[in-house]
């Protein structure tokens, strides 16, 4: 694939994740398996992401 396609895809994902572009489809649930040593780092990140709407 071309470099322009990759850059465009990354930009679209970044903008839609920031709420600058509307979602293109239904919401998606992602399950992540992680160890207890990652909980302190991951939990605040997930809460901030979920609160961002």
Domain ranges of the chain: 3-51
CB-based contacts of 23: which residues, under 8 Å, 6+ apart? 16
Asked if residue 20 has pLDDT above 80, the reply is no
Span 15-40, mean pLDDT? 74
pTM strictly above 0.75: no
**Average predicted confidence (pLDDT) for the chain:** 77
Asked if residue 27 has pLDDT above 80, the reply is no
Asked if residue 24 has pLDDT above 80, the reply is no
CB-based contacts of 1: which residues, under 8 Å, 6+ apart? none
- Gyration radius of the chain's alpha carbons: 14
Phi first, then psi: what are they for 50, rounded to 5°?
-65, -35
């Amino acid at each position: 694939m071309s470099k322009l396609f990759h850059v465009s895809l990354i930009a679209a994902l970044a903008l839609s994740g920031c709420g600058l572009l509307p979602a293109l489809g239904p919401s998606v649930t992602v399950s992540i398996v992680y160890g207890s040593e990652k909980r302190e780092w991951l939990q605040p990140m997930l809460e901030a992401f979920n609160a961002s709407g």
